[in-house]
Structure 1
Amino acid sequence: MLVVSNSIAAQGIITGRVLDEHMQPIHFANVVLLNHIDSTFIQGTITQDDGSFTIRTEQHTGILKVSSIGYAIIFMDVQQGDMGNIRMHPEIQTLGTVIVKGYRPQFKMGSDGMIINVQHSLLKQAGTADDILSQLPLITGNNGNFTVFGKGRPLIYINNRKIYNTQELSQLKSSDIKEVTIITNPGVQYGSSAQSVILIKTIKQEGEGLSLSSYSFANISRKFSAVETIDFKYKHNQFELFSNFRIHSLHNKQYFEFEQTMQGNHFIRETGRDTIFNNGDKQVRGQLGLNYNIGKDHSFGIAYSITKSLHDVVNSTSAIDISLDNTSEELLRMKNYHTSYHSPDHEIDAYYMGKIGKLDINFNNTYIRNRLVQNDSKEENSNTSGARVIDVDNITINKMLASKVIFTYPIMKGKLSFGSEYTDAQSKGTNTNAQQIFSNTDTKIKEQNLASFAEYILPLSNFQVRAGLRYEHVVSDYYSKGVWQQESSRRYSEWFPNFSLSWNKNKWQAQLSYSTKTSRPSYRSLSSWMQYDNRYEYQGGNPLLQPAKIRTLELTATKSWIMFMIGYKNTKNQVAYVMHPYEDDIFIKTYDNIDRIQSLYASLTASPKFGFYQPMYEVRVSKQFLDDEAYGKEQSLNHPLLFIRMNNRFLIQSDFTVSVNFSYTSQYASTVSIYKAGGALDVSVYKSFFKNKLICYFWGRDLLQTQKRRYTMYGINSAFTTRQDMDTRSFSIGIRYNFNTTRSKFKGTGTGNEEKTRLQ
């Protein structure tokens, strides 16, 4: 079916807007202008995020072909002007006497990356944004801690706003999410360190007045944990005021077994067992913000967030047997009391989005300040050396101010984006040991990053070319006890190219991409902090770390509900957590640069629909190539990874779904460690009542207790093997109540996003 408004003459331009059957925009739909006489190709484009398109042509009339996977193709006579709203409907096929209604596929290649449709799948009943991400292809993790296959930790955006506190993911309802885009080759506007980006886009909610949504969550493992969140929103005309509040109290109990060998002046072997109690991570978080639209072309907003720890205590006990030169030396019994306290963490985000003629403007500012106080007290009892107490206090204060502006302007058949970003960050840390076992430190890192970037996107029939270039000038100054340290200070001036070629025809879509990125060490790993583990082992930072340089070549292809990806990555100066001699018989676990690591990776995902059964099957394989004789020596660190996941979703009724999910990970090598095989079996149930005003969730995670963490880390003249029971088997229930709910209009993207990650 087709809905077309009255045409408005516009010399040389054909415009319009493509919508689905629910009047929601369809972006990345193909719009092609054909010759009236012989249907030959004249010009083509794809729709933007709001469904709009523009075709510039000298032809006064022609045939417009509009297509999008899962929808019936539309042909219509056009002339120069505004075609208004073009409404598409799902494709319907007849097989004998059976009518099969097409559906929009779950996977689709966009101009940035792979788009996963949430509203047209059972993912919308997953619970929260956090629950959705844990079930998506290429993504691994939960509770806000996610990684993208082959690309590490991603930047995450909600409606173009970068989230700094991942607790927001558990506050966003899955039913409010329209789609999720996984970008494995982020453009230059995302920064030189962004190897992957996740964009979460919510559905457009109508209605005004006051809305309320509350969510209560309880989890039982070896301990009991609870989370409570409340969202308020008030909308009137072009004005919106929003706020949310969250409080959590998290508890767990973990068991670790380990064996460690170290060749210093003596051959040392440690075997032991740790019992770790998280006696309470209690935290509150609040956010208050507003948005205002000035007509259709201008909007601005501001949001303030505050986070405060009420109580964060971790207690542990350890029993360690130590032998020197294969002769029993001593027995250590240790008690550790660790407290972590955040004074209020503050974040302010402000944005302006506007349009002047054909020029789009996106301006963002971010300010962050946080302070973390950690106290570590150990009671060490030895059968040979007696008892002693070791106290270590660490205080870290981080500040950041950042601004970014992006301009977008159509040039010829394509679109040019250009802009600049400035970040001023500071991290100050003190590390104090009362017993003077190691030296006290007082360090400060001041870093300024000035970047400029440009990117051009050009559609060419069934192809689209995207090319971008980013330049960064970084000044990083390192101070120890107020004195500037030349060896640890840095100056960088670097170029970062980015390129992709996309192809789209019928149900096939593909993208070939290349990028150069960097990975700068976190401020904590660059500081001189020290931690006492026992008389033979310390942990600490490394001020001499160098940033890594990463080059990636990747090919991604999709067809309907199948997605395939293969890639190659070359990393110079990879930052890794390693172990090496410190002095005499003492070893230290710290961060170091590995000269070069190469890796190959591939994945295959299928997500079909079989009536009430809507599964997702995924297979991943990867292999690193590390040739560094300092680590592992006779042990190969090139073991490949095989990951298999089967998510089985069953639609019992429209308001009742059940999921049974299984995953398996083989033994594999990552940097200087070899991880043992493991897996997990999870179940979840969704049931809604009273037209989705009341929703209940149930989860059972790692039911067979097979998600253990077992690995061996190979260091210089050392090896550390551990078997960790992370308290992963748990049973949870969640209850959500909705009243007149609407989604926030906040459009800020945040800025300084790379520095936010490094400040954590």
Structure 2
Amino acid sequence: MRYISTITLLAISHLLSPAKDITGTLIDETGQPASFVNVILMKDSTFIDGKTTDDTGLFIFENADSLANKVKITMIGYEDMMLPIPENGNYNTISLKPSTVMLGEVVVKGDLPSTRIKGNAFVTRVENSILSTTGSANDVLKNIPMVTGTDGKFSVFGRGDAIIYVNGRLVRSSDEVGQLSSGDIKEIQVINNPGAQYGANVNAVIRIVTKKPVGEGFSVSAYTDNIYNKWFTTKEQLNLKYRTGGLEIFGMGYFRHGKTYDEEYTLTTSYGKSLLEMISDQSVSTTQSDITGKIGFNYQLNENHSLGAYYQHDYNRGHHFGHYLNDIKENEELFESSVSDLKGWFKALPCNSANIYYNGTIGKFTVDVNADYMQTKDNDRSYQYEQNESSDNRNVTTFNTTRNRLFAEKASISYELPKGNILIGEEYTNSRSRNDFRNPESILNSELTDVRESNMGVFAEVSQTFGKFSATAGARYKHVKSDYRLNGRFVDGQSKTYSNLFPSANLT
């Protein structure tokens, strides 16, 4: 009875707690305002919201979630700070503490990255800053204002998940971000109000711009990353480059092997005519190996024209073992119990991907063309033994084969205005996904699904700068056709054909 009363009081307390603003001003060691510092609102270790300080060092969370109990302040070159929220929500002035040692070297002010606003983007310089020595693009993005995330999956404060571009090419695999060296990055552009050149479902965009190749001859670089979390995971990467004239030929080899372990315990309590408790206790260990090989070239014909291409070959395989316990109690007496042990194996047959691009400038016109092709095949099989007190024990065997194919291209041309530009372009994607699922015991339905989709879009956008203000307006037309087939039969309800027009406007 006390347990129920405690839960009820906590719920009422949360509902009655008035929302309040949480604010403060950050200064550096010289007393100057610290701008573009990430301030994260948290409940224990859970992310709630994020802000970035303005040019006066001010941050403010208006009507902040009453569950929040601390803020985390992060900026490369300074010590991370974790501060409890004051009762009135006002931190007044917070002084950042310089990190005297980073990556084994003394940090000087000139080594710190700078961030500026350019049009509708927040641009952070990476080249010649300490960010260029952090390791991979993953490590760089963790330290960019307004950005949070890890392992190729990042989001932007107030906008949600972001898509990532490298030199105008959409990144389609999260592994690719970890394979890009921080030393090859020139700058990071964060766009929290994407315009018409991006799809209507895009919340935010992160654009990575790499440095232009310099020098002549042969170069070798290696990268290693080892993580321990009950077991070791190792990542090894070797990069080879040869440059002569305007031609760069490159190759990359990547290997990752590791074992991970995850545990999760969940208790769900329901109050009604009786007290119901649903307990889920599961543990899963996974061992996986990945191998990637990549070869390609970049050719700069002159300062106004460049083109290139690459081919990439990926292979991965692994296995996982899981133990699952599910109990249901009614009025503290066991009502139902089940235990499952799962063994699974997965293998991605060699996956192939390729890209070709061209960038050119003719007078005030700039042309950008990118095309991608990707083909994958994944095989999964699992064996699960289920023990259930209310029914017979059983074995469940599943086999699953998934084949994916994708072709995508995007082309745009822009014209430079005195204080802005005009951009027009088109984008086309054609994909097919085929999934063959089998269960020999016929406990689950075996089915073959085949989804084919084509997506075409055209867009136009105008941007102009007026003093300290920048305005962008545009529109995007989208046409989608999708065919869904189940066991060889066309399913009208899940197939679709539609067109939409999406206008957009932004003022910063």
Q: 1:178 deviation in Å?
A: 2.8
Q: Find the counterpart in structure 2 of residue 365 from structure 1.
A: 371
Q: Find the counterpart in structure 2 of residue 388 from structure 1.
A: 394
Q: Find the counterpart in structure 2 of residue 289 from structure 1.
A: 296
Q: 1:449 deviation in Å?
A: 1.1
Q: Find the counterpart in structure 1 of residue 37 from structure 2.
A: none
Q: 1:192 deviation in Å?
A: 2.6
The structure-2 alpha-carbon separation of the partners of 1:219 and 1:349, relative to structure 1 and needing over 3 Å to count, comes to same
**Alpha-carbon distance in 2 for matches of 1:103, 1:390:** 58
**Alpha-carbon distance in 1 for matches of 2:422, 2:352:** 35
Equivalence map 1:567-582=2 (5 Å)? none
The structure-2 alpha-carbon separation of the partners of 1:284 and 1:292, relative to structure 1 and needing over 3 Å to count, comes to same
Equivalence map 1:143-222=2 (5 Å)? 143-222=151-230
**Aligned residue among 288, 293, 315 for 1:308:** 315
What SS does the aligned partner of 2:161 have?
A: coil
Q: Find the counterpart in structure 1 of residue 341 from structure 2.
A: 335
C-alpha distance after superposition, 1:392-412 (max 9, x if no partner): 222221111122210112357
Q: Find the counterpart in structure 1 of residue 233 from structure 2.
A: 225
Instruction: Between 137-146 and 283-292, report the one with greater CA deviation.
Output: 137-146
The structure-2 alpha-carbon separation of the partners of 1:384 and 1:289, relative to structure 1 and needing over 3 Å to count, comes to same
**Alpha-carbon distance in 2 for matches of 1:299, 1:408:** 16
CA contact (8 A) 2:378 2:402 kept: yes
Q: Find the counterpart in structure 2 of residue 24 from structure 1.
A: none
**Alpha-carbon distance in 2 for matches of 1:403, 1:173:** 25
**Aligned residue among 340, 343, 351 for 1:345:** 351
Matched AA of 1:410: E
The structure-2 alpha-carbon separation of the partners of 1:260 and 1:371, relative to structure 1 and needing over 3 Å to count, comes to farther
**Alpha-carbon distance in 1 for matches of 2:418, 2:211:** 32
C-alpha distance after superposition, 1:175-228 (max 9, x if no partner): 443321111112222333321111122344521111110112222220111111
C-alpha distance after superposition, 1:62-109 (max 9, x if no partner): xxxxxxxxxxxxxxxxxxxxxxxxxxxxxxxxxxxxxx9989872211
Q: Find the counterpart in structure 1 of residue 449 from structure 2.
A: 443
**Alpha-carbon distance in 1 for matches of 2:114, 2:463:** 25
What SS does the aligned partner of 1:186 have?
A: coil
**Alpha-carbon distance in 2 for matches of 1:239, 1:437:** 59
**Aligned residue among 410, 414, 422 for 2:416:** 410
Higher RCO (C-alpha under 8 Å, 6+ residues apart): 1
**Alpha-carbon distance in 2 for matches of 1:324, 1:241:** 67
What SS does the aligned partner of 2:285 have?
A: strand
**Aligned residue among 419, 431, 435 for 1:429:** 435
**Alpha-carbon distance in 1 for matches of 2:307, 2:387:** 60
**Aligned residue among 480, 496, 499 for 1:493:** 499
**Alpha-carbon distance in 2 for matches of 1:434, 1:172:** 43
Q: Find the counterpart in structure 1 of residue 123 from structure 2.
A: 115
The structure-2 alpha-carbon separation of the partners of 1:149 and 1:413, relative to structure 1 and needing over 3 Å to count, comes to closer
**Alpha-carbon distance in 2 for matches of 1:325, 1:484:** 49
CA contact (8 A) 2:255 2:289 kept: yes
Q: Find the counterpart in structure 2 of residue 276 from structure 1.
A: 284
Equivalence map 1:505-520=2 (5 Å)? 511=508
**Alpha-carbon distance in 2 for matches of 1:384, 1:191:** 50
Q: Find the counterpart in structure 1 of residue 24 from structure 2.
A: none
Q: 1:240 deviation in Å?
A: 1.1
**Alpha-carbon distance in 1 for matches of 2:269, 2:370:** 51
Does residue 236 in structure 1 map to residue 249 in structure 2?
Answer: no
**Alpha-carbon distance in 1 for matches of 2:191, 2:403:** 32
**Alpha-carbon distance in 2 for matches of 1:382, 1:105:** 58
C-alpha distance after superposition, 1:374-405 (max 9, x if no partner): 22321112345342111222222111112221
CA contact (8 A) 2:292 2:312 kept: yes
Q: Find the counterpart in structure 2 of residue 649 from structure 1.
A: none
**Alpha-carbon distance in 2 for matches of 1:105, 1:131:** 14
**Alpha-carbon distance in 2 for matches of 1:495, 1:267:** 52
**Aligned residue among 467, 470, 477 for 2:476:** 470
**Alpha-carbon distance in 2 for matches of 1:262, 1:442:** 38
The structure-2 alpha-carbon separation of the partners of 1:418 and 1:269, relative to structure 1 and needing over 3 Å to count, comes to same
C-alpha distance after superposition, 1:491-513 (max 9, x if no partner): 22111122122xxxxxxxxx2xx
Matched AA of 2:383: S
Q: Find the counterpart in structure 2 of residue 636 from structure 1.
A: none
TM-score by length of 2: 0.73
Q: Find the counterpart in structure 1 of residue 145 from structure 2.
A: 137
**Alpha-carbon distance in 1 for matches of 2:380, 2:235:** 24
The structure-2 alpha-carbon separation of the partners of 1:239 and 1:103, relative to structure 1 and needing over 3 Å to count, comes to closer
Equivalence map 1:454-603=2 (5 Å)? 454-501=460-507, 511=508
CA contact (8 A) 2:160 2:203 kept: yes
Instruction: Between 455-464 and 491-500, report the one with greater CA deviation.
Output: 455-464
What SS does the aligned partner of 2:201 have?
A: coil
The structure-2 alpha-carbon separation of the partners of 1:136 and 1:297, relative to structure 1 and needing over 3 Å to count, comes to closer
The structure-2 alpha-carbon separation of the partners of 1:150 and 1:314, relative to structure 1 and needing over 3 Å to count, comes to farther
C-alpha distance after superposition, 1:159-180 (max 9, x if no partner): 3333223323333333443321
Equivalence map 1:538-687=2 (5 Å)? none
Q: 1:367 deviation in Å?
A: 0.9
Does residue 250 in structure 1 map to residue 255 in structure 2?
Answer: no
**Alpha-carbon distance in 2 for matches of 1:405, 1:179:** 23
The structure-2 alpha-carbon separation of the partners of 1:236 and 1:359, relative to structure 1 and needing over 3 Å to count, comes to same
C-alpha distance after superposition, 1:349-384 (max 9, x if no partner): 111222334322211211111112222321112345
The structure-2 alpha-carbon separation of the partners of 1:365 and 1:268, relative to structure 1 and needing over 3 Å to count, comes to same
**Alpha-carbon distance in 2 for matches of 1:118, 1:349:** 25
CA contact (8 A) 2:111 2:129 kept: no
Q: 1:457 deviation in Å?
A: 1.6
**Alpha-carbon distance in 1 for matches of 2:285, 2:415:** 56
TM-score by length of 1: 0.50
Q: 1:450 deviation in Å?
A: 1.3
C-alpha distance after superposition, 1:722-750 (max 9, x if no partner): xxxxxxxxxxxxxxxxxxxxxxxxxxxxx
Q: Find the counterpart in structure 1 of residue 360 from structure 2.
A: 354
The structure-2 alpha-carbon separation of the partners of 1:196 and 1:345, relative to structure 1 and needing over 3 Å to count, comes to same
Matched AA of 1:162: L
Q: Find the counterpart in structure 2 of residue 106 from structure 1.
A: 114
C-alpha distance after superposition, 1:594-653 (max 9, x if no partner): xxxxxxxxxxxxxxxxxxxxxxxxxxxxxxxxxxxxxxxxxxxxxxxxxxxxxxxxxxxx
Q: 1:460 deviation in Å?
A: 2.7
Q: Find the counterpart in structure 2 of residue 610 from structure 1.
A: none
**Alpha-carbon distance in 1 for matches of 2:110, 2:354:** 45
Matched AA of 1:142: T
Q: 1:269 deviation in Å?
A: 4.5
CA contact (8 A) 2:310 2:355 kept: yes
The structure-2 alpha-carbon separation of the partners of 1:233 and 1:274, relative to structure 1 and needing over 3 Å to count, comes to same
What SS does the aligned partner of 1:188 have?
A: coil
Q: 1:413 deviation in Å?
A: 5.3
